[in-house]
Chain A
Amino acid sequence: MHIMEGFLPHPWWEIWFALSLPVVAYGVYRMNLIIKERRDTLPLLAVSGAFIFVLSSLKMPSVTGSCSHPTGTGMGAILFGPWITSVLSMIVLIYQALFLAHGGLTTLGANTFSMGIAGPLVGYLVYKASMKSGLNLYIAVFLAAMLADCATYLVTALQLALAFPAAFGGVLTSFKAFLAIFAITQVPLAVVEGAITALMFKYFIQLRGDVLVKLNVASAKVIEKLREASL
C-alpha cells in the first residue's frame, strides 16, 4: 500500500496531508491522555505499535506470484480506536520512508490516510458492529483485522486512481487497473493477518482481560465467558 516517493503529483499529496494531519494530531492528544491517565493500558499500546512494526515488515508471497505485506493495524484499532492507531501507523511509515526507501515523505500523508486512518476506521466499525450483533469475539477480531487490511489497499488504489485518471474511462478505469494489482494478492494476506490478530486477543484475554474491559473492548461478562471456555 506504500505509494512511492514522488509518485503523487500536486495537488494530491497536499490533499492527503491535509486530511491526515488533523487526525494524527488529535490522535497524539488522545494518546497523551492515555499515557497520563490509563497507565495500566500502556503495555497494550506498546504491543499494538509493535504489532504494526512486525506485520508491515513481512512481505509475503501471495497467490498471484507477487508479494505484499499485511498492515497490522486492526489490533490497535480494536483496542485504542482509529485516532491513536493513526499515530502508531505514521511512526512505522516514517521509519520505512527514511530507512527503507519504502513509501516516502511526500506520500506520507496519503499512506498514513490509507494505512493509519481508513483501515483502522473500517476495522473499528466492523468490530463494534460484530460485537453488537452478538458474534464471538475472536470472529469479530478476525473480521475487523482482515477488513482493515483490505480497506487500506482499496483506499491506496483509489488514491492512485484519483491522481492518475485514465485518458479513456477516467478514475474508474484506473481504479480497476490499480485494484487488479492489490485485490487478489491482498486477500490471502488479510486472512492470515485476521487469524493471527485473533490469536493475540486470546492471550490478551487470558492475561489481562481486565484491561480489555477498561478499554471497552468487551464487557466483563463476555471476557469471563471466553476465559472459562479457553478456546
Chain B
Amino acid sequence: MKLELIVLAVIVVFVTVFAFVSSTGNHEWGGSDDQSEGVIADLTGGTYQPWFHSVWEPPSSEIESLLFALQAAIGSIIIGYFLGYYRAMAKMKAAKATEETKG
C-alpha cells in the first residue's frame, strides 16, 4: 500500500495547491494551448491568420465536454477490462496451484 499512499499524497498536494491558488486570486483557468494563440498574435503584431479551420467543431462547450468524457471513458473501460482480466487469471492460476498441491 506504500506506493498508493505516496500517489494519494501527490494528488492531495495537487488539489490543495489548486484550492489555494483559486481562492487567492482571479484566474481564468483557460487552456494553455489556447494561450499560445495570444502569444502568436503578440509576436506577429496580430497579423497572423490561421490558414485552415477545424473541419468540425463541437457546437457547444457542453458537447465538447461530452466528447472529452467519452474519450476518458473509452480509455478507462479498456484499462479496467484488461487489469481485471489479468487479476482473474492470476487468481485462477493460484487456486489451481493450491488445488494441485492438496490433491
Contact = CB atoms under 8 A, between A and B. Distances in A.
Indicate the size class of the contact surface on chain A: 35 or more
B40 A7 contact: yes
A223 to B, nearest CB: 14
B32 interface: yes
Contact of A192 (B14, B36, B50, B77): B14
A58 B53 CA distance: 24
Interface residue SS majority, chain B: helix
A125 interface: no
Given A59-B31, A100-B58, A191-B10, A199 B4 contact: yes
A178 B67 CA distance: 28
A98 B64 CA distance: 12
Nearest to B50: A6
A195 B75 contact: no
22 contacts: A3-B33, A4-B34, A6-B51, A43-B85, A46-B78, A47-B79, A57-B69, A62-B18, A65-B28, A65-B29, A66-B29, A66-B31, A68-B31, A138-B3, A164-B40, A181-B32, A192-B10, A198-B3, A199-B4, A199-B7, A206-B90, A207-B86
Interface of B: 2-4, 6-7, 10-11, 14, 17-18, 21-22, 25, 27-37, 39-40, 42-44, 48, 50-58, 64, 67-69, 71-72, 74-79, 82-83, 85-87, 89-90
